[in-house]
Structure formats: C-alpha cells, structure tokens
Amino acid sequence: MDRLAYLMRRLLLAIPTFVGITVVCFALTRFLPGGPVEMRLMRMKGLAAQSAAGEAGARSVGASQVSDEYRRELEAQFGFNKPLLAQYWTWLAKNRMGLSLPSYDHPDKTAWQLIRSRIPVSLWFGLAAFVLTYLICIPLGIAKALGHRQAFDAVSSLVVFAAYAVPPFALAMLLKTLFCGTVDGMWDVFPVGGVASDFDVPPSAWRAFADRLWHMALPVCCYVAGSFAMLTLLVKNSLLDQISADYVRTVIAKGATRGQAIWRHALRNALVPVATGLGPMIGLVFAGSIIIETVFDIPGMGRLSWDALIGRDYAVFLALLSLTASFQLAGNLLSDVLYMIIDPRIDFAGK
C-alpha cells in the first residue's frame, strides 16, 4: 500500500509540474516579439510593396495601412485577443494541448499531423541509441569496476573521456567527413544523410531494413557517444561502492565466493542509480537531437522543433513541448517503478 500511495502521489505531482512547464512556455510565446501575427504582417507588407512597385500610382498603399487592416483580424484568428489564461485553457483543453491547432506555416495541416509524420524517424534513431547505450555501457562499467586500476580500466577510461570531450556536432562532422565521401581521399562508406535511399523499384522488407540500418549507423554513434561516458562511469562507481560495502564482506564471510557476492547482491544494488537516467533518456528518445538531425539531414522531431521555433510556428512548438514534457514525466515515473523492483528496501512511507 505504501508503494501504491507513493506512485499515486508522484502521478498527482506530475499534473502541476506539466501545467507549470506549459504555462511558462505558453506565456513566453505570447510576449516575445516576432510572433505569428508579426510574421504574417511582414509577409503581407512584402507582398504589398511588390504589388505597389509594379503599379503606377499605387505606392500610396503603405505598410501601416496593411497592418491596421489585418492586425485585429489576425489576432482574432490566432486567438490572441483573449486573456492569457483563457488562451491557455483553450489551447490545453479544447485543442488537446495544441495538437489539433493548424500549423502557422502549414495551414493545411494540424500540429499533430506534422508531428505524427516525424515520430517514426525519431523513434528509430532514439530507440536504437537507447538500447545500444545500455547494452554497451552497463557491461563496460561492470568490467571497469572488476578490473579497477588495471590496464583495461586505464585504456578504456581514455576512450570514454575522449568520447565525452568531443562535442556531438564536432563528432558528427568528423564522422561525416571521414566516412561519407564528402572530402576527396576519404572513405565513401555511408550515405551523407537522410533515412532511406531512393530505389527504382520498391525494395523487399529485408533490403529496406538493411538500408535503414546503413543510414542509421553514423547518427546512432553520435547519439551513443553523448551519454556513453556518464553512464559507464556511473555503473563503475556505483558497483565499486557496493563491492566495498559491509554486506558484501558479510556475504563472503558466510561462505560465498567474491563472484557470487558481486553478481547476486552488489550488482543489483549498483543498478539503482542507473535507473535514474531512464527518465531523461526516454525524453531524448522522443525529442531527438537538433544537432545530429541537422548534420545528417534527418527529418525527425529535433529538426521539426527547431524549424518551428525559428519560423515562430508556436502551434507546432507548443504541441511538441507538451508531448515531450509528458514523456519526460512518464519516464520519471518509470524510474520510480524500477526503484521498487531493483531495491525493495526503499522506504516509501516517508517515516
């Protein structure tokens, strides 16, 4: 009952957290200069200026006249003529967190239609990076802990810290230069960008899958490198702390071997801090990476959020924000559930 009550409290706490995140960002989009109304007026002014330049005597059509005529109409169209809280409630409840609102840059599509077309791409890359990160870093961290201060630990530490020191943008550009044939004399092994090749005829399922993996190889390496060092060292240090704990020495004193004490007892407790990183990782799986998607020309969620922010398409940006925040909060709740599974000793009663 204590665990169920704790999860219920965490779930209820997620509601005001979500509201707080979205309210702040929603208010910023309404007060920052250069919003969708201003962007639309600038386009109209440009069209009016072009039309006036081609018609004799029409230069009297000024930008201010266009602005006065359309500003109130545009504000009503975007709903900016209502109080801020009323706008937020309409966005949250009536428009389903903005998902049903039409895009400002693509009026023929809703925010959800644009997001839905990008979700599969981000999930492909994000899930592959998520799985590979944990499959590589957890065994590597365990091996480093068991061989602490030995040759393997020293050499692997150099690789880990080198990967951590290289920024994702620099690593992406380096891999693209070395293996994509963009520079004469380098290897032309992987595609320059994109997520699929242009086939003359529809490919078989196996060939399409192999082609997707071919396009994913370099971007996924950049995804993994971003969290490679932190997770590896977290596993190593956590396991070292557990190995030196009193209960491990007690288990060995009762007749168990050192290996049995480590694999049956210490490792399970060492994985508790690792579960903390699942929440942020799930958010990254959905949100994607702006830098990596830009370098490799991947049409994912990161690129969509960047294009929406630059183009002041706040309908799409806020819808993306609400979904990303929801996945992040769900990931944090999943971390709490894993705490319960990994370490039953955790006291949820708050006593």
Cα dist from 73 to 67, 77, 87, 132, whole Å = 10, 6, 16, 52
CB 95 within 8 A of CB 79: no
49-59, pLDDT tens digit by residue?
565 555 544 44
CB 186 within 8 A of CB 174: no
Cα dist from 163 to 142, 197, 223, 230, whole Å = 19, 29, 11, 10
277-331, pLDDT tens digit by residue?
676 677 777 777 888 888 999 998 988 988 888 888 888 999 999 988 898 888 8
Q: Name the H helices within the chain.
A: 2-31, 36-53, 63-78, 84-89, 111-146, 151-165, 168-179, 205-243, 246-253, 258-261, 267-270, 272-276, 278-287, 290-295, 301-310, 314-342
Of 3 and 143, more confident: 143
What pLDDT does 59 receive? 43
For residues 98-112, give the mean pLDDT. 86
Hey, which residues does 180 pair with through a beta bridge?
A: 188
For residues 224-253, give the mean pLDDT. 89
Closest of 318, 329, 328, 325 to residue 99, by C-alpha = 318
5-15, pLDDT tens digit by residue?
878 888 899 99
**In angstroms, rounded to a whole number, what is the distance separating the alpha carbons of residues 97 and 165?**
38
For residues 36-47, give the mean pLDDT. 70
Share of the chain above pLDDT 70, in %: 88
User: How crowded is residue 201: how many other Cβ atoms within 10 Å of its Cβ?
Assistant: 5
Which domains occur in the chain, in start order? 2-94 (no CATH), 117-342 (1.10.3720.10)
